[in-house]
Amino acid sequence: MIHLRIIAPTYDCDNVIDLLKATPSVTNLVYLPGAAQKPEGNVVLCDVAREDASVVIGDLKELNIHRDGSIAIEEIDSQLSVGAEEAEKAARGAPSDAVVWEEVEARTSENIELSANFVAFMVLAMLIAASGIFLDSTILIIGAMVVGPEFGPLAGLCVALIQRRRDVAKRSLIALAVGFPAGVLAAFVFSLIVKGTDIAPESFSLDGHPFTQFISQPDAFSVIVAFFAGMAGVLSLTSTKSGALIGVLISVTTIPAAANIGVAAAYGDGGEMAGALAQLGLNLAAILLAGISTLYVQRLLYVRRRRAHLDDDSRAVAGLPKGHSRNPRRGPAASRQSRVK
């Protein structure tokens, strides 16, 4: 179940209450008149089946609540309620398959910001990966994959392309365009220090590290695994199975490949550098293709659900047109006029 905390302006609160009352997948409806102070209005609390959360929020957006008030979304981990069980039965589909698109947008917005922490994690991840290459240690390579934060901007770019959000796409690309070069540069400088101070293992050779050699030797399975990992990553982002994201990070070699570019550049090995660059490019392309494909199918299913919902009687009760969406209103005056009509 999803919990909604709605601040509705007084002039439109009746429509909100009527809408939520008439929606079978909504339960535990609470109305607190005049409880909100900033912005001023009434507070409405309710629980909605996860399958219908985005559909109901879409109706609230048509009532302009997100502009004149606010809509807060919270996940309910546990709830003992027969009414909640009935609400979930009223919603078609399985809760674990449902996508709350507003939740996805919030998650991606948090993970695509170019910040000092993001760059620091990119640098640290590639330094760990570079150490793993020097020591031929798969454990360090896996650790670098887990530390790397690059999947956030990649997922954000997928969401932006599906929803045609230029601002999100721009922020994602900027984060990737700064993070990867910063990490590669750090790995390059670190490798120069290791090379200049002779602290590298005596047996180290870019051609002789069998346990980590896969980083610079892309093949068909590099693309296949990255594609599957991209699908799993997006599914973990859009569902409640967020724990699967750790497995996704371990499945792709974006961070180790980028780090290997820096190591190979420090040792002047053009072939190794080209192989690592190819591995990085193939992984990024496969992840993006898989993410976009998965989100496209999920979005298509949501659009079908939303279109079917447009004929629901609950919309008519709330003053919304049946069969189609109406354009968002531009303020209180427009809302009052619609109420008079």
Residue among 54, 50, 48 at smallest CA distance from 22: 48
Is pLDDT at 336 greater than 70 in this prediction?
A: no
329 has a pLDDT exceeding 60: no
pLDDT in tens, 299-310: 998 888 888 888
Look at 200 and 176; give whichever has higher pLDDT.
Answer: 176
The amino acid present at 296, given as its one-letter code, is Y
**Domain locations in the chain as residue ranges:** 2-96+310-340, 104-301
Predicted confidence (pLDDT) at residue 212 exceeds the cutoff of 90:
no
At the top level of CATH, the class of 2-96+310-340 is alpha beta
Token pair 């609400």 is found at 87
Return the pLDDT at 8.
93
pLDDT over threshold 80, residue 31: yes
Taking the C-alpha atoms of residue 256 and residue 215, their distance in angstroms, rounded to an integer, is: 6
pLDDT of residue 113: 82
Q: What pLDDT score was predicted for residue 119?
A: 95
pLDDT of residue 30: 95
pLDDT of residue 140: 92
The average confidence (pLDDT) of the chain is: 86
Using CA atoms, how far apart are residues 294 and 276, in angstroms rounded to an integer?
27
Burial class (CB in 10 A: 0-12, 13-18, 19+), 53: buried
Predicted pLDDT of residue 93: 76
CA 6 – CA 231 distance, rounded (Å): 33
Percent of the chain with pLDDT over 90: 49
Roughly what angle, to the nearest 10 degrees, separates helices 220-238 and 270-309?
40
- What does the pLDDT read at residue 339? 38
At 179-204, the pLDDT tens digits run 999 999 999 999 999 988 878 776 66
Q: What is the signed CA dihedral for 222, 228, 230, 235, rounded to 10 degrees?
A: -170
**What was the pLDDT predicted at 210?**
66
Query: What would the 3-class secondary structure string for the chain be?
Result: CEEEEEEECHHHHHHHHHHHHHCCCEEEEEEEEEEEECCEEEEEEEEECHHHHHHHHHHHHHCCHHHHCEEEEEECCCCCCHHHHHHHHHCCCCHHHCCCHHHHHHHHHHHCCCCHHHHHHHHHHHHHHHHHHHHCCHHHHHHHHHHCCCHHHHHHHHHHHHHCCHHHHHHHHHHHHHHHHHHHHHHHHHHHHHHHHCCCCCCCCCCCCCCCHHHHCCCHHHHHHHHHHHHHHHHHHHCCCHHHHHHHHHHCCHHHHHHHHHHHHHCCCHHHHHHHHHHHHHHHHHHHHHHHHHHHHHHHHHHHHHHHHCCCHHHHHCCCCCCCCCCCCCCHHHHHHHHHC
The mean per-residue pLDDT over the stretch 18-25 comes to 93
Query: Is it the case that residue 333 has pLDDT exceeding 60?
Result: no
Q: In this model, does residue 335 exceed pLDDT 60? A: no
pLDDT tens profile 134-159? 888 889 999 999 899 998 899 999 99
- Evaluate if residue 340 carries a pLDDT over 50: no
Q: What is the pLDDT of residue 244?
A: 54
